[in-house]
Structure 1
Amino acid sequence: MADTAVRPAPAAPIAAEPRVDAARLTPVLLGTWADIRLEAREMIKDPVFWRVDGEHYLEHRERVLEQCRLLAQRGASSRALPEEYGGRNTQGGNLAGFEELVLADPSLQIKSGVQWGLFTSAIFQLGTKPHFDRWLRDASSLDLPGAFAMTEIGHGSDVQALGTTATYDVETQEFVIETPFRAATKDYLGNAAKHARAATVFAQLITGGVNYGVHCFFVPIRDADGNDLPGITSEDDGPKGGLNGIDNGRLAFDRVRIPRENLLNRYGDVAADGTYSSPIASPGRRFFTMLGALVQGRVSLDGAATWASALALKIAVTYGNERRQFAGPAGEETVLLDYAKHRRRLIPRIATAYAQTFAHEELLQKFDGVFSGATDTDENRQDLETLAAALKPLSTWNALSTIQEAREACGGQGFLAENRLVGLHQDLDVYATFEGDNNVLLQLVGKRLLGDLGAQLKGKDARELAAYVARQSASKLFHGAGLRQLGQTVADLGSTARSVEFGLRAEDQHHLLTDRVQQMVADVGGRLNAARRSGAAAQQAAFDENQVELLEAARAHGELLQWEAFSDGLERIEDEGTRTVLTWVRDLFGLSLIEQHLSWHLIHGRLSTQRASAVTRYIDRLCTRLRPHAQDLVDAFGFAPEHVRAPIASGAEATRQDEARAYYADLAARGAAPTPEKRPTR
């Protein structure tokens, strides 16, 4: 007889915890030019490229010079150049490979950047074919070491106000390069103290008694034996706080004469009779076009700082997963990363590193499109400059903060030079300053945001603008972030944490982050617009009063760009488990940004105090949820042991811990363990 009893349905299988497939994630993080990144990483596994701790700065300089020669010999110096000049004609790939050198020695990365990313690039981006034929091959091979002479003692970020002059002498058809006063001395120049034989010098071009603004000139500065040429004075900046493998120095010019043809004349030229011409009529637009041609320095610093942060996290998380401290309930000492505070100090920083990685990939693609010519339009160049100016400050500041936190998270071990964190912090310190001081760059971004707002409101008077700002406040206060029903959600679910998870999903994070940028820009724009009819002095005073808030709005804009890039990047993750975990990581990044700016959200009524505190508690929950995945997330950066080179991240700590545990276990097994004076309470 058939069995007709009703049997219970089989229990649904318990869903497995999603896991990160690090091997499949690594190529996604390496991005479009993963092959060139891997090529560079393979090359710098050779110890000849590694930083030597404690090396005297004069020896360090010579070591890095020889390393640069090796780069040139192995074809790493010419990737951006056309095939005609021995290159591979890849703009994005060139920067991708260059950024990886930070893993070997940041001094190597920056010195090679001076030689090929600045000096050679200035010839290529600002010159024309006769200049290419004369200098590109020698600059690429390092047969012609060079300096990039833009910054002056008295003018760093304000390039338009440089004091150095290049006055055209129509009788000899030469430019006369002059340093008219001490503050016009070129300073902080890589290669200028010793190694450079020529410099691309930025100076005010004067012909026929008219100053046509800053242009770039090729100026020989030393002979083949390293002696200063007539009229050239060079000085050594000496030891620095970091990057001591680079011979930074000063250059001054005393009526130095160069041929007329040494003007890099892509955007401005002077005829034999002294007549000036340019394909760009507007002096302001011409200046910014010339500087925009050199934006790759900011792009590459964003990438290098991101990889340096990732390296610091790889070291700290690996150590935190092995180092034990203080006995837990079971008697064994507790792994550091199992402590809530340790999770809180490191795991949100992993989220930031991932956000920066995805954002940098978009920046690099934008750069490649413009500089390859595929998408080279005025609008795209402006977008590229704004994007680089927004992201470089965030990544370089975050690198310093992350490396310091990683150092502290590794205790005294983190302070040892052999574990690299102190040296990384010293070397990356100046990343926040060169290629544009971070605050100056954010001001550029803020002005662009104000310009975009002005374009939207063109033709509206002060009253209409004020009404617009008021509407922004009212609508966002009551409707913008979609959180008015959060209180009811708490009642329905009976859990604040669950309600925050429900109420701050991706779209809600996006609303809050976007709203903050829009509101801050609208507020500043409204106040500046009100001062428009009050005269130049009043307008300048109004700008000064609002500068801090404008810079904060620009920073918020950069953070929003990173969040959006992270969200877009999730779509490229094919493995379901990896995508689930990275979605949590993205949420951690977004909520961490909201938490950092809780005072703004509270003051402007975007979040109540209860909901603000719930955000913090949910971040703690996310850190706990991501704790099992922390090692996989840092392993996915793809660093080999030769890239990490920190003993505390080599497995040595785990060996020590295992040895200690085996020792005590053996004592207990043999009954040889001493009786503790204070017995544990049960």
Structure 2
Amino acid sequence: MVDTAARTTTSTDAPTPTPASAPTQTTAAPTGAAPRVDVEALGLQLLGDWAEIRLASRELSSRPEMQKVEGLSLADQRARVFGQLKLLVESGQVHRAFPKSVGGKEDNGGNIAGFEELVAADPSLQIKSGVQWGLFGAAVLQLGTQYHHEKYLPGIMSLDVPGAFAMTETGHGSDVASVATTATYDPETQEFVIDTPFRGAWKDYLGNAGKDGIAAVVFAQLITNNVNHGVHAFYVPIREENGDFLPGIGGEDDGIKGGLNGIDNGRLHFTGVRVPRLDLLNKYGDVAEDGTYTSSIDSPGRRFFTMLGTLVQGRVSLDGSAINAAKIGLKIAITYGDQRRQFTAGSDTDEEVILDYQRHQRRLLPLLATTYAGSFAHEVFLHKFDDVFSGRAATDADRQDLETIAAALKPLSTWHALDTLQEAREACGGAGFLTENRLTSLRADLDVYVTFEGDNNVLLQLVAKRLLTDFSRKFAKADAGALARYVVTQAAGKAYHGTGLRSVAQTVKDFGSTARAVNWLQEPSTQRELLTGRVEAMVGDVAGRLRSANKLGKKAAADLFNSQQNELIEAARAHAELLQWEAFTDALDQAPDAGTKQVLTWLRDLFGFGLIEKHLSWYLIHGRLSPQRAQAVSAYIDRLLTRIRPHAVDLVDAFGYGPELVRAKIATGAEAERQAEARAYYAEQRASGTAPVDEKTLKPKKR
């Protein structure tokens, strides 16, 4: 076993790239030289187009007064986080997305980029600020009109009016269209009367509702002239300045949670609460004095999804925040793994660095590859968001694309963050379980990311429905001949793959050579074909099974759809994985130099091969890979691990999170000092002859 600790750079201080445009030209490496990662340049590429804002947010997050203090009481932790919100206001950190007319900067992409970096300070701070300005404030901004902007945004921006985003109910979470709270218009007083008719209709899990909030944006079924026009949003005061609930309003504190305890989550209920007609956030639907309802969007369904789509920034920011948390977890685990020594596998005296063990590499390096894929995909996603919200790409199709990408990527990144933090914790052994090393605390705080702003499985179902819609549109106007040709092609393809003819052809082509199989799999076009082909086949198969749904009754059609739900969600997940792979592949062209590009290419291949290996049974069952090529996948992953290992520390250093942001004692170089002290101690004993004799050396050897 090779001790790589001596030849890898162990940096305790991550680079701080100077904001500038990342170079698009790559510099050739010397012929025959081993590739080297330009950590600073790669770090700049990872920062993306909002580098200055990200760095400013990291600088703010590095201040001790902005950071989480472990072990505080519930009341003290909440008070600390609320005080930190005031510091965010002072810094101007939270005003970027708001209109210039009220003191904002109208920088939507920069706002999200800066917000995502707050996860390094304290996830509770990040999410509570997201509740105040990204949900409560954004709802007023995106769903209200100029009247609401001028009246309410200044107080929201300054934190004079802390507020809650009252959408979720105890009985309805992801199914927002079915919330039971009502807002019934009374034309005599020109007021809406808000009611929660039963316990399941209470607004629940709301940040700022437990203690701090004095107002809320409440989502309720708008009823006027005895017609329900669906879910709309209303600005509703909920507390006096002394903290007492206003008449007709009550609630409870959610108490201690599994994480994010700096946020005062709570419940609200309403009984005959009257709000002025003008406090309906009426950008997409309005009620006249006489109770007449009007909307610029005729379709109730499209109107509902348009209103929800304006709030998509929550999913955008969770995607980036989760990736950042995974980066911090890997920074800790890989730094520690490059220093920690265990077992004398290849030496009689020196123990091995644990990151040199193949199994340790298998645990952490594929997660590193996925984190890079998620990071590059998020940059593309963030640009799409900025284009839509700035108005540069404001068509209905653009907004639908943004919603679909958000629903695809947020599940993958939040699940990945939890998996990464858990594996990082285990990879650091007992040290990883100590609160001082942050991994357990980060994982606890990020746990709920997989369910808020949309349960991950529900979001993937939305993606699947979009994929089915796009699939059916291909044939919406097709003539009988085109459809027939497609059916014949599909049938031929199924016969071809199902009989194993493709697999046999692959085996013959490879002539028993694993190298040939690997060379074929290494090609980006091959990886793209395998990943794309899986998505297309899964969507096509489900579409075929659901073809008769429109001829069935409602119950039978629902049962048929439900029978395909798991396959639909898996198809959506495969689509999201393809998006990440494509983003990673495109990012290779922006690598700063040839050496960095080579290492990133290995990392991209590790990500792609990892996806194929994870779904290997599908590829074998469907005849897309021969058994020999399937074996080559795992064999090449092992080869890639060996190639990437010397660059692992550089790759996590490029994330740019220094000690003041990582805040884990085992990632400061302390372990390397302990190991050096131990090795020096035993070396001195051996050199001086004072080392005790090992009992095993005294026993006579058997003949």
Q: TM-score, normalised by structure 2?
A: 0.92
Name the residue aligned to 2:345. 328
2:174 aligned with 1:157, yes or no? yes
The one-letter amino acid paired with 2:51 is A
Name the residue aligned to 1:613. 631
**Cα distance per residue 1:515-563 (max 9 Å; x no partner):** 0000000000000003432332221111011000000000000000000
Secondary structure at the residue paired with 2:49? coil
2:295 aligned with 1:278, yes or no? yes
Secondary structure at the residue paired with 1:218? strand
Name the residue aligned to 2:53. 36
Question: What percentage of residue pairs aligned between the two structures are identical?
Answer: 61
Q: Which moved more, 1:471-480 or 1:599-608?
A: 471-480
The one-letter amino acid paired with 2:540 is A
Shift of 1:259: 0.6
CA contact (8 A) 1:324 1:336 kept: yes
Tell me, in whole angstroms, the C-alpha distance in 1 between the residues paired with 2:545 and 2:488: 12
Map 1:61-76 → 2, pairs under 5 A: 61-76=78-93
* Structure 1 residues 468 and 258: alpha-carbon distance in aligned structure 2, compared to 1, 3 A threshold: farther
The one-letter amino acid paired with 2:661 is H
Name the residue aligned to 1:7. none
Secondary structure at the residue paired with 2:458? helix
CA contact (8 A) 1:78 1:87 kept: yes
Secondary structure at the residue paired with 2:188? coil
Name the residue aligned to 2:9. none
Give the one of 642, 651, 667 matched to 2:685. 667
Tell me, in whole angstroms, the C-alpha distance in 2 between the residues paired with 1:33 and 1:495: 47
CA contact (8 A) 1:476 1:515 kept: no
Name the residue aligned to 2:494. 473
Name the residue aligned to 2:589. 571
Name the residue aligned to 1:437. 455
Give the one of 507, 521, 527 matched to 1:487. 507
2:69 aligned with 1:48, yes or no? no
The one-letter amino acid paired with 2:184 is T
The one-letter amino acid paired with 1:406 is A
CA contact (8 A) 2:521 2:527 kept: no
2:534 aligned with 1:519, yes or no? no
Higher relative contact order (CA 8 A, sep 6+): 2
Tell me, in whole angstroms, the C-alpha distance in 2 between the residues paired with 1:592 and 1:302: 21
Secondary structure at the residue paired with 2:697? coil
2:647 aligned with 1:629, yes or no? yes
CA contact (8 A) 1:298 1:388 kept: yes
2:141 aligned with 1:120, yes or no? no
**Cα distance per residue 1:584-642 (max 9 Å; x no partner):** 10011000000000010011011122221221111011011100010011111011111
CA contact (8 A) 2:330 2:652 kept: yes
Name the residue aligned to 2:235. 218
Shift of 1:27: 1.3
Name the residue aligned to 1:646. 664
* Structure 1 residues 152 and 441: alpha-carbon distance in aligned structure 2, compared to 1, 3 A threshold: same
Give the one of 137, 140, 145 matched to 2:162. 145
CA contact (8 A) 2:503 2:623 kept: no
Unaligned stretches of 5+ residues in structure 2: 1-29
CA contact (8 A) 1:235 1:249 kept: yes
Shift of 1:375: 1.0
Secondary structure at the residue paired with 2:546? helix
Matched pairs, number: 668
Give the one of 251, 256, 275 matched to 1:234. 251
Tell me, in whole angstroms, the C-alpha distance in 2 between the residues paired with 1:356 and 1:477: 33
CA contact (8 A) 2:506 2:626 kept: no
Map 1:146-545 → 2, pairs under 5 A: 146-331=163-348, 332-458=350-476, 467=488, 469-474=490-495, 486-487=506-507, 490-491=510-511, 495-497=513-515, 499-545=517-563
Tell me, in whole angstroms, the C-alpha distance in 1 between the residues paired with 2:228 and 2:493: 45
* Structure 1 residues 501 and 414: alpha-carbon distance in aligned structure 2, compared to 1, 3 A threshold: farther
CA contact (8 A) 1:20 1:632 kept: yes
Name the residue aligned to 2:569. 551
* Structure 1 residues 426 and 218: alpha-carbon distance in aligned structure 2, compared to 1, 3 A threshold: same
Unaligned stretches of 5+ residues in structure 1: 1-12
Shift of 1:19: 0.8
The one-letter amino acid paired with 2:684 is D
Tell me, in whole angstroms, the C-alpha distance in 2 between the residues paired with 1:530 and 1:260: 46
* Structure 1 residues 659 and 381: alpha-carbon distance in aligned structure 2, compared to 1, 3 A threshold: same
Name the residue aligned to 1:10. none
Shift of 1:34: 0.9
Secondary structure at the residue paired with 1:147? strand
Shift of 1:330: 2.5
CA contact (8 A) 1:77 1:141 kept: no
CA contact (8 A) 1:221 1:229 kept: yes
Shift of 1:128: 0.4
Tell me, in whole angstroms, the C-alpha distance in 2 between the residues paired with 1:447 and 1:358: 25
The one-letter amino acid paired with 1:375 is A
Give the one of 79, 102, 117 matched to 1:100. 117
Tell me, in whole angstroms, the C-alpha distance in 2 between the residues paired with 1:84 and 1:144: 19
Q: TM-score, normalised by structure 1?
A: 0.95
2:583 aligned with 1:562, yes or no? no
* Structure 1 residues 293 and 468: alpha-carbon distance in aligned structure 2, compared to 1, 3 A threshold: farther
Tell me, in whole angstroms, the C-alpha distance in 2 between the residues paired with 1:376 and 1:453: 24
Name the residue aligned to 1:6. none
CA contact (8 A) 2:500 2:623 kept: no
Q: Which moved more, 1:461-470 or 1:630-639?
A: 461-470
Shift of 1:329: 2.5
* Structure 1 residues 24 and 180: alpha-carbon distance in aligned structure 2, compared to 1, 3 A threshold: same
Tell me, in whole angstroms, the C-alpha distance in 1 between the residues paired with 2:489 and 2:475: 9
Secondary structure at the residue paired with 1:304? helix
Q: Which moved more, 1:339-348 or 1:665-674?
A: 665-674
Shift of 1:469: 3.6
Tell me, in whole angstroms, the C-alpha distance in 2 between the residues paired with 1:324 and 1:224: 58
CA contact (8 A) 1:483 1:503 kept: no
The one-letter amino acid paired with 1:25 is L
Secondary structure at the residue paired with 1:583? helix
Tell me, in whole angstroms, the C-alpha distance in 1 between the residues paired with 2:174 and 2:339: 45
* Structure 1 residues 26 and 180: alpha-carbon distance in aligned structure 2, compared to 1, 3 A threshold: same
CA contact (8 A) 1:321 1:336 kept: yes
- RMSD in angstroms over aligned alpha carbons? 1.9
CA contact (8 A) 1:505 1:587 kept: no
Name the residue aligned to 2:4. none
CA contact (8 A) 2:163 2:216 kept: yes
The one-letter amino acid paired with 1:320 is G
The one-letter amino acid paired with 2:173 is G
Secondary structure at the residue paired with 1:133? helix
Secondary structure at the residue paired with 1:317? helix
Name the residue aligned to 1:5. none
Give the one of 44, 65, 77 matched to 1:60. 77
Tell me, in whole angstroms, the C-alpha distance in 1 between the residues paired with 2:493 and 2:209: 52
The one-letter amino acid paired with 1:590 is G
Tell me, in whole angstroms, the C-alpha distance in 1 between the residues paired with 2:208 and 2:515: 56
Tell me, in whole angstroms, the C-alpha distance in 1 between the residues paired with 2:326 and 2:112: 18
* Structure 1 residues 258 and 28: alpha-carbon distance in aligned structure 2, compared to 1, 3 A threshold: same
Shift of 1:467: 4.1
The one-letter amino acid paired with 1:302 is D
2:697 aligned with 1:679, yes or no? yes
**Cα distance per residue 1:194-247 (max 9 Å; x no partner):** 000000000000111111100000000001111100011021000000110100
Shift of 1:488: 5.1
Tell me, in whole angstroms, the C-alpha distance in 2 between the residues paired with 1:348 and 1:99: 23
Tell me, in whole angstroms, the C-alpha distance in 1 between the residues paired with 2:648 and 2:636: 18
**Cα distance per residue 1:619-674 (max 9 Å; x no partner):** 01101110001001111101111110000000000000000001011111211111
Name the residue aligned to 1:4. none
